[in-house]
Amino acid sequence: MNKGSNPTPKSPLRSFTLLELIVVIVILGILATLGYSQYGTQVESTRVAEAKVMIGTIRQLATEYYLKYGSLDGISNSDVGAVSCSPATYYKTWVSGSDPSFRYLAAGRCTSGGKTPNASREYYVVMNYYPSTGSGVFRCYYTDDGSSCFGMPH
């Protein structure tokens, strides 16, 4: 027997218990769910920029109509290039209203029939357009409860 060598005791193996692993998995699941919902909201809010561009085009065509006829009476969706939900767009657009001083220029998020992914909740981005001054104010609201969306006024 060697007097100089002492056998080293084996260190006990440390491992996680099943309960600790389950707690970690649950926490990660909660964080992933929160992150995914925030991601979806952020993506959708960036799509509002596309709606604003579409409304801007409608606004330009409505201005041309107003300059040509001196009024927006009789303006139709075809006059402003309005579109329906299709695989090429996230929004349907239209012009509406009968007040001679302004019109609603609108884009509604497609919940079916539009470019995928379709929205799970429909909302409208609307501009109150005043042709005599050329001014307009953007608003956004959900159609199911009327609440404002994406930090824009209702």
pLDDT digits (tens, 9 = 90+) for 103-121: 999 999 999 998 888 888 8
- Report if residue 74 sits inside a domain: yes
Arithmetic mean of pLDDT, 133-142: 89
What is the domain range of residue 129? 49-142
How many domains does one find in the chain?
1
The pTM for the full model equals: 0.74
- Report if residue 134 sits inside a domain: yes
- Report if residue 23 sits inside a domain: no
CA–CA distance, 83 with 91 (Å, rounded to integer): 8
- pLDDT band (50, 70, 90) for residue 3: low
Question: Which amino acid would we find at residue 30?
Answer: I
Question: Which amino acid would we find at residue 79?
Answer: D
Contact 131, 118 (CB under 8 A): no
39-43, 84-88, 97-101, 109-113, range with the lowest pLDDT = 39-43
- Give, in order, the Cα–Cα distances in Å from 43 to each of 2, 37, 46, 107, 138: 71, 10, 5, 17, 19
- Report if residue 17 sits inside a domain: no
Any idea what DSSP says for residue 71?
S
| Bond preceding residue 12 cis, omega within 30 of 0 | no
> Given this model, what pLDDT does residue 102 score?
87
- Report if residue 76 sits inside a domain: yes
Residue 12 pLDDT greater than 80, yes or no: no
Residues 6+ apart with CB under 8 A from 97: 103, 104
Percent over 90 (pLDDT), the chain: 53
> Given this model, what pLDDT does residue 15 score?
82
- Report if residue 44 sits inside a domain: no
